[in-house]
Amino acid sequence: DCITNLFIHEDMVTATAMAGRSHEDLREITIDLNTGAITAEIAPDTKSPAEECVVKFPVGKDALFYVAGTEERGDGYLYNTQTGQAKVLFTDAADYSLWDDNQSYTSYWSSIGYGYLVYYANKEVSLINLNDGGKRTVLEDIPMKQDMDFFVNNEGTVLSIITHGDDSFDAVRLCLMDLKTMEAWYFDRDLPEGVEEGSRYWNGEYGFVIDAQNTKTDTNYIYLYQYAP
């Protein structure tokens, strides 16, 4: 037996995967992570995306996002399970994890959770909202680079975008974006000498936290950025 394309849902209770006796006999299953039991099994559907897709996960109750291609690059689709129609979101894009400074690929995509994708092409960064039919919004003043971080709060209402320094993990620029209005606020940051940053996380719906430490004095810092809608 084999299991592939495992995707853990945002509720951290259920997961979907492709499973079967062989790679030629895969079916989509839903797994209860608390008990390990398979709670549903979906039979093959002639309207479903091709089983050779390399990425596949549900969007709400009536849609699937999937990428058809290879492990390195492919075409992204938003598939409506009710109508059987698939909308093309991007073509010939590489997974963002394959980004390199030489830009071996011309376009990249990454899932950041809560039904959102980040897409880079033609030196432009966009946010794709799968919950809204794949609507694309260009992110102004955000140059895409290697090892950027994207954090959506637990409510799915605000996105923070971290741009790292060239040779450090420090956040040299922070962007907070309202996912309802798509308004964004940018902060350029310059840390004191000897301060190194660590974890980043949301504190409630509107507070974004960056932990840091002065390696010379062992002093700990907490930077709190409060978004006010």
Q: In 3-state terms, what secondary structure has residue 130?
A: helix
Contact 11, 4 (CB under 8 A): no
Q: In 3-state terms, what secondary structure has residue 162?
A: strand
- pLDDT tens string for the chain (229 positions)? 456 667 777 777 777 776 655 444 455 667 777 776 664 443 334 335 655 677 888 888 888 898 888 878 888 999 888 888 888 999 989 888 776 666 566 788 999 988 999 998 888 889 999 999 999 999 887 776 666 889 999 999 999 999 888 777 888 889 999 999 989 888 888 888 889 999 999 999 999 999 999 988 989 999 999 988 7
How many Å separate Cα 96 from the centre of its chain? 10
Distance CA 55, CA 38 (A): 20
How deeply is 55 buried, as exposed, middle or buried, from its count of CB atoms within 10 A (0-12, 13-18, 19+)? middle
Distance CA 209, CA 119 (A): 25
Distance CA 220, CA 75 (A): 45
Output the pLDDT for position 146.
Answer: 61
Identity of the amino acid at 39? T
Output the pLDDT for position 163.
Answer: 87
Identity of the amino acid at 227? Y
Output the pLDDT for position 82.
Answer: 83
Paired tokens of 22 = 């062989």
How deeply is 171 buried, as exposed, middle or buried, from its count of CB atoms within 10 A (0-12, 13-18, 19+)? buried
Name residue, tokens 């899932």: 111
